[in-house]
Homo-oligomer: A and B are copies of this chain.
Amino acid sequence: MSGDPSDQARSTAVKQLKALGLSTYAARTFVALVSLGEGTARDLSEVADVPRTRVYDAAGELHNRGLVDVKQSSPQRYWAISTETAGRHFEQEYDHRVTVLTDALDQLVPANRSTEQQGVWTVTGRDTVTERVVDFISSADDEIVYMTAEELLTDEIAECLSTVSDRGVSIRLAEMSQSVEARLEQDVPDAKLFESLWNWSETPAGRLLMVDQNKTLVSVLVDGNGEHPPEPRDETAIWGVGQTNSLVVVLKTLFTWQLDNNRDSQDVR
C-alpha cells in the first residue's frame, strides 16, 4: 500500500510522537490519521495497525491533547489537525514546560555556586561539550584563548565569540586550518592569532579553551574508529575552574609560555 520511504517517515514520526509523550497506540493512530486526513475507527485500525477496539482510547488520548477532533456520528469519525498546527501545538506545550521547570529550579539553586574547585569534571557528547564551551565563553570578562578542530567550530560558537569580542574581551586563537582562520577572521576581526603548540590538524585533539586564566576545558575526539554505529557521542572533555585548579594551572603555564614565545616571533617546534 505504501512504499518504503513513506514507511520510514511513518516510523520516525511515531518515534518522535512517543518521545513527546504519546502512547504507542496514540502515536500510530495519529500518524495514520494524518495520512488519511480523516477516518473511522475501522479505517485507522487498518492503517495504523492498532487493534480496532483500542483505537477509541488512542483517539481519546489524542482528543484530550487537542491533536484530533471528533465527529459525533455513527460510526464516529476522527480528524487530525494540520502538521503546522501540530508543530505549533507541541512548541507551545513545550515552551510552557520549560518555563515552569526553570522557574521551579531557580527557586532551588543555592546562592553560591562555588567558583573554586579541586578536581576536573568530565563531559561526554559533542553537543554537550559545545554547551559547556558556550557557557565558558559567554562568561568571559577579560580574555579567551581558544584552539579548535575545524569540524567543531559551529556557527553557535563563532557567534558567541563575536558577541564577547564586541563586549571588549580579548580573544587569542591558536593557529588552525586555513579555513577556520578565514572564517573567524571574518566573524571576530579583533581576534589575535598565535602559533599552535602542536601540529593541530594531525592530532585527534578537539579543543582547548581557557577563559580569564581561570576556567579551562580540553576535549578529545574519541572512538569514531572502533565503533559500529557512527555515534554523535564522539567527543569527551574535561574542565575545571579556579586559580588553584590543577587543570587550570597546567593549561595556564602552557599557554603563557606559548604566547610569550610567540610574541618573540619564535616558531616553536
Contacts and interface: CB of A to CB of B under 8 A. Distances in A.
A71 B119 contact: yes
Interface stretch (A73-81, A142-150, A204-212): A73-81
A97 to B, nearest CB: 5
Contacts of A87: 98, 101-102
Interface residues of A, number: 69
Contact of A37 (B81, B97, B110): B110
Given A70-B122, A88-B131, A131-B85, A13 B98 contact: no
A83 interface: yes
Task: Give the interface centre of A17, A105, A109 by most chain B CB atoms within 10 Å.
Answer: A105
Given A98-B90, A101-B20, A123 B69 contact: yes
Contacts of A178: none
A5 B82 CA distance: 41
Nearest to A83: B105
Interface stretch (A28-36, A161-169, A256-264): A28-36
B113 A6 contact: no
A154 interface: no
Query: What is the count of identical protomers in the complex?
Result: 2
Contacts of A66: 123-125, 127-128, 131
Contacts of A107: 5-6, 9
A70 B124 CA distance: 10
A254 interface: no
A109 B16 contact: no
A31 B109 CA distance: 9
Contact of A124 (B19, B63, B120): B63
Contacts of A132: 69
A123 to B, nearest CB: 5
Contacts of A86: 101-102, 105
Contacts of A92: 127
Nearest to A72: B122
Interface of A: 5-6, 9-10, 12-13, 16-17, 19-21, 31, 34-38, 63-64, 66, 69-73, 77, 79, 81-92, 94-95, 97-98, 100-102, 104-110, 112-114, 119-125, 127-128, 131-132, 135, 239
